[in-house]
Structure 1
Amino acid sequence: MPIPIALLIGIIIGMQIPTPAGSAEAPPAAIAQPGGSPDAAEAAPRKINVERREADDPTAVGDINAPVTIVTYSDFQCGYCAKWANDTLPTIVQQYVDAGKVRIEYRDIMFFGENSRQSAELAVAAGHQGKYQEFHDEIFADGGTAKNADFSEAGIKALAASLGVDHDQLVSDAGSKETSTLVQKNHDEAKELGVTGTPTFLVNGTPLVGAQPLEAFVKVIDDELAG
């Protein structure tokens, strides 16, 4: 994966500080490039191609052959991620993912510590049972996050029942070396790309940073589909 290329060309993705659900939308961060102003960078953003398109990716949803892929760097304790998940994601899923036009590859990262890691591992485990999106939506329901999630034994049992997954398999998969390796790989990838805040998106390689409104995604997606 040519991640170092992104560093060599100077891609820098600005920081978004997560805030509680319901707060004002984050302004878009500049994407800087050497020798140019932020305005010039926005006019001709570099594409960063890190799509995996793996058939057995437990945290991807949508047709593997969809013409547009959204790589999503998110943290389950991030308030802006919750805002995007509630305000923008449902329409993207309904209008584009379900229609076979968009595939979303979620890369859950761990900017906020242990609850972020445990959430990401449980998300992978839920994905192995075909319930990644359901887990994602459950954590972010009504603007909530995993900040105060109950990941005790009883809490995980309740979560498994709510998702309709096998509890023992969920726990086993979440605690596996394979899962911890994947979660760490996603986190390290984001750091190497220069992601310093969440959510950050690459739509067919075009960066979008922050809890952007639906219209911003529709424009980029539709441009990609038209191209």
Structure 2
Amino acid sequence: MNKFYLITIPIIIGILAGFTLYLFDNDEQKETDSNVLTKSTLTNGGSPILGNPDAPITIVEFGDYQCTFCYRFHKSSLDIIDEEYIESGKVNLVFRDFPLNGPDSVLAAEASYCAKDQGKYWQYHNQLYNNWAGERTGWITKDSLNKFAKNVDLNLTEFNSCLESHKYQDVVLASYKFAQEIGIDATPSFLIFNDERVIKIRGNQPLQSFVNAISEL
């Protein structure tokens, strides 16, 4: 098991909206520039918002399309969070790419943004996790990405042109760099926040951890 799959309890409490955010990790206090951790900088550069853009609580997930525990979160907790909190307008979700598993993960993330160009980011995102076949097993190829594009009825000419040009490679790598800068070191990792506080969950924690975090905000 890679070190970034180690699971801990929520470890971050802070203040957004123009104030300095303090991170607490194993009793060590770290200070982060308030210009980095604002709602806009946490969500810009990520996926389209899933749910009500004006929801009082936002979840930002940092994930990798090859990550085993990201897949498990997608297949277990996410559906319940969506049904109970996102569809009701209480919470929205943004996915940010943190491709720890190498070039194939970067390519899959690029493909998701090519799908975004045609208004089908989340449909394609779901295809990637629904067809997950392990870490570093070679299942992410241009042929498989093209197949997933067909499955969600994308214009394949436009999709392949986007993918071949690596139109979104810089966006994906910028998201990776940003995650590192704010101390993200595992996939999946989650920042759950409102206008005043943010809670971090590291790893694929049980659903109750997410319920508790949402209830605290």
Q: State the TM-score bracket (shorter-chain normalisation).
A: 0.7 to 0.9
- Residue in 2 aligned with 1:88? 77
Aligned residues: 195
Which of residues 105, 110, 126 is equivalent to 2:99?
110
Give the Å deviation of 1:78: 0.8
5+ residue gaps, structure 1, are 1-14, 19-25, 42-46
| TM-score, normalising length: structure 1 | 0.73
* Paired residues of 2:114 and 2:162 also in contact (CA < 8 A): yes
Could you tell me which amino acid in structure 2 is paired with residue 218 of structure 1?
V
- Residue in 1 aligned with 2:199? 206
Q: Structure 2 vs 1, CA of residues 110 and 142 (structure 1 numbering), >3 Å: closer, same or farther?
A: closer
* Paired residues of 1:88 and 1:213 also in contact (CA < 8 A): yes
Give the Å deviation of 1:178: 5.0
Q: How does 1:1-227 map to 2 (within 5 A)?
A: 16-18=3-5, 27-28=7-8, 31=11, 38=26, 49-52=37-40, 58-141=47-130, 144-145=133-134, 147=136, 148-152=138-142, 154-176=143-165, 179-204=168-193, 205-224=198-217
| TM-score, normalising length: structure 2 | 0.76
* Paired residues of 2:68 and 2:135 also in contact (CA < 8 A): no
Q: Distance in 2 between matches of 1:104 and 1:30?
A: 18
More helix by share: 1
Give the Å deviation of 1:144: 3.8
Q: Structure 2 vs 1, CA of residues 197 and 180 (structure 1 numbering), >3 Å: closer, same or farther?
A: same
* Paired residues of 1:75 and 1:108 also in contact (CA < 8 A): yes
SS of the residue aligned with 1:201?
strand
Q: Structure 2 vs 1, CA of residues 175 and 157 (structure 1 numbering), >3 Å: closer, same or farther?
A: closer
5+ residue gaps, structure 2, are 14-21
RMSD: 3.1
Q: Distance in 2 between matches of 1:58 and 1:132?
A: 7
